[in-house]
Amino acid sequence: MLKFLRGRKRSRNAVLILFIGLLTLSLVALFSASGGGNKLFGGTTGNETVIAKVGAYEVTVRELKDALTNFGQQIAQGQGRNRKDDMSTLYQLYGQQVLDGLIRQKMILYDADRLNLSSSDTEVQSRLKQVFAPWPGWEQYRARLQQAGMTPVRFEEDLRASIAQEHLRSFITAGVEVDPKDIEADYRRSNTSTSVRWVELDPQKFSDKVQVSEPDLRTYFDAHKDEFKIATEQRRARYIFVDQNKSGATMQVSDDELKQDFTPERFVKQVRVSQIVLDIPKTEPAERKDTTADKKTGDTEEETIRNKAQGIAQRAQGVGGNPAEDFAKLAREFSEDAKTKAKGGDLGWINKGDKRDTDDPLNKVFTMQKDETSQPIKKGDKYYILKVTDRKIPTLADARDELIKAARSRKGYTRAVQIATEAEQQFKETKDAEAVVAAINKKHGDQVASVREVPFFSEGESLPQLGPSSELLSSVFELQNPGDIGDRMPIDKGFAIVQYLERRDPHDPAFEETKAKIEKSYRAVKSRELANDRAKELAKAQNIEDLKKMTGSQGLKLDERNGLSASDSIGPLVSESARAHVYKLNVGEVTKEPIKADNDVYVVAAVSGRKDPDMGEAFQKERKSIEQRMLEERRNTFFSTYLATTQKQLKDEGKIKIYDNVIESAVDTSGPASETGQPRMPSPTGARPRRTQQGPQGAPATLPGKR
């Protein structure tokens, strides 16, 4: 097959579809195979010992240890953990995955060799000067690599591997093409404008409607015992909590401090506002074939309204040396809000403390100056232009209470740090939480400290009573022995000093022990059933008008969005598969079944309008970029499939060898992950193309002029 692919492009294209099919079938076989054992690292095998080979390319102990260490660090950072796993744990968790990645990297080098696609010294040298542009000179180059724990030979081998992969990918995917019909379909999907209405049924809102009895819970527990098994170690803890708010609640704040903190602009609470509102015409079924609002410019209706709003705003602002026009006059002429148009757009006084949506345009006015006019702001199917016509500037007396509160919060934090430091020292000396809290409260008053208990929990579990304090829980598993006390750490609204109290092994809990979790799970299941049943009733609506009536009679909100493309989410429908159920509907049609969103919310939706895109000049402008994107996506997919298939083929031929007996005794877990004790500098592929003497091309060449 590979020899055939080397032939003319026409020949490659002819077999491309068949080749994809064969590769896909091979993938199924590959990923169905067992991943191998998970034995722990241990023993004293050297870092240069070979644990796997692809042809003459070798994977060494050092490479596996370095890759595992780097992978483990990335996982820990992603999970917000400070504690790093030892090498044995890393291999148990990720060993097979990381080893497979290293083998894949060596396989790319092997394949590039046999297809005569390896990188040359000239290419490596050229790429070096791109990576280190502007080129610092050979001495600085070596110094930078040494700082990062790398040698020039090692880094250049990684570059060589990266270039070889580029060569191999280009060759293998040269025959991949994109059908013009697929380009057109992609453009249509992205640029068709759809109006959607939908209703959300959130199971959480049905929770209080679930009837719960102990017999029901016991029956549920008996049927789902595996769900409540405690499969990992659990720990119980307690902590001393120092309350930041109480620490500062009675602290004195002088008038001089208040004056220093007071800036009138920060405390503006009321502004008088005028508005100009322009409606974006809704997309109705009858307009589907009318793809643009302005045939001369090719603009869509929304673009036309946005441009109009921009022009009005500029007239009100006095842009380009022109005097600012009277806002009230412009509002009477252009605004489409019936309530304020006759009054020159006047909305009256707006209070900052009033409840409003986060995307409400009025949120902006409290940062504007008097007589300032905003740029057009879009919300829903309208554009708003706002002008602040007056502001009530507060005095120091008006802002006094808020200033005192802010000052006490600031001082409270500083005092809480001091108190928590004191409590930490006493707690570590006495290990008596109650005595420490009593002494702290006696000295500082205001009941600033308290003892809080943490029930048994597993690592990674969250507890509602702790809010966003997951770091506190993870710190308990960093303590070695019951009774050990951790360092002071900030948590929500204060500081905590935690003590590890007790350990519990994995076990099957009794009903009473886990009753709260059973009820929570039972309510969640029954709530989903109730929400789904209600959604199924709504999905019986024959059309949008029926859906309106049904949601209105049940007190449910029918949301609406206009101008959506196929990539836009619809409320909680974020995934492509969920959105597709809606976008494939005809205009006026309602989903026949509820759609379950990723957050377990059930959605019933309808398409109220659709407008097809301009397939003329606008499409032609984007055609090339769409083709390039789709081509890149298909090449990536094809190359990944090719690599997986080649890996299986080489395994079957015995050209990929994994020395399990060596891996079992490969790494001394007490030692560093590399001989230098330093992390490797990130390289283009992460691969080090080490080869034995009989390799296809011998050892990597040293580039001229450096050593």
Report the alpha-carbon distance of residue 440 to residue 579 in Å, rounded. Answer: 57
* Closest by Cα among 245, 97, 115, 273 to 642: 115
Average pLDDT of span 605-618:
91
| Inter-CA distances, 423 with 238, 241, 416, Å | 14, 9, 10
Instruction: Among 24-28, 173-177, 559-563, 667-671, name the one with the lowest average pLDDT.
Output: 24-28
Q: For residue range 363-375, what is the model confidence (pLDDT) as tens digits? A: 898 889 999 999 9
| Beta-carbon contacts of residue 639 (< 8 Å; ≥ 6 apart) | 169, 172, 173
Q: Quote the tokens at residue 414.
A: 């500083």
Name the least confident of 8-17, 65-74, 246-255, 645-654: 8-17
Averaged pLDDT for residues 576-597: 92
595-596 β-sheet, strand order: 559-564, 193-201, 602-611, 595-596
Token couple for 327: 């806002």
Q: What domains lie within the chain, and their CATH numbers?
A: 193-225+514-611 (3.10.50), 233-252+399-507 (3.10.50.40), 269-392 (3.10.50.40)
How far is the C-alpha of 383 from the C-alpha of 538, rounded, in Å?
32
Closest CA to 646 of 192, 173, 30: 30
Which residues sit opposite 279 in a β-bridge? 382
390 beta partners: 272
Going by C-alpha positions, the residue among 520, 524, 536, 521 that lies closest to residue 602 is 536
CB 203 within 8 A of CB 523: no
| Cut 0.85: pTM above it | no
State what percent of residues in the chain have pLDDT above 70.
Answer: 83
Task: Give the residue-averaged pLDDT of 693-698.
Answer: 36
Query: Which residues does 593 contact at the CB level (< 8 Å), separation at least 6?
Result: 536, 539
Report residue 317 as tokens.
């602002």
Burial class (CB in 10 A: 0-12, 13-18, 19+), 624: exposed
pLDDT at 707 over 50: no
H or E stretch at 260 = helix 255-261
Helical residues (DSSP H) of 115-136, grouped into ranges: 121-131
Query: What is the C-alpha to C-alpha distance for residues 576 and 554, in angstroms, rounded to an integer?
Result: 30
Please report, for residues 204, 263, 293, 372, 430, the alpha-carbon distance to residue 390 in angstroms, rounded to integers and kept in the order given. Answer: 44, 18, 38, 10, 62
Helices 515-538 and 214-223, axial angle in degrees (round to 10)? 90
pLDDT tens string 66-125: 888 878 777 777 665 555 667 777 777 888 888 998 999 899 999 999 999 988 889 998
Helices (H), 431-514: 433-444, 470-476
CA 391 – CA 264 distance, rounded (Å): 11
User: Using an 8 Å Cβ cutoff, are 480 and 230 in contact?
Assistant: no
60 touches 49 (CB < 8 A): yes
pLDDT score, position 460: 80
SS3 334: helix
Using alpha carbons, select from 387, 285, 407 the residue that is nearest to residue 344: 387
Return the structure tokens found at 253. Answer: 């704040």
pLDDT digits (tens, 9 = 90+) for 128-167: 889 888 888 889 988 988 887 778 887 888 888 889 999 9
Query: What is the residue-averaged pLDDT of the chain?
Result: 81
In 3D space, the residue among 355, 368, 380 whose CA is nearest the CA of residue 274 turns out to be 368
Residue 199's pLDDT is: 96
Q: Mean pLDDT across the stretch 218-227? A: 93
The mean pLDDT value for 206-221 works out to 94
Q: How far apart are CA 451 and CA 458, in angstroms?
A: 21
281 closest CA partner among 308, 311, 312, 302: 302
* pLDDT tens per residue, range 518-538: 999 999 999 999 999 999 999
Residue 554 confidence (pLDDT): 92
Beta-bridge mates of residue 570: 573
96, 36 contact by CB (below 8 A): yes
Q: How confident is the model at residue 45 (pLDDT cuts 50, 70, 90)?
A: low
Give residue 81's pLDDT. 57
Nearest residue to 371 via CA among 341, 342, 328, 340? 328
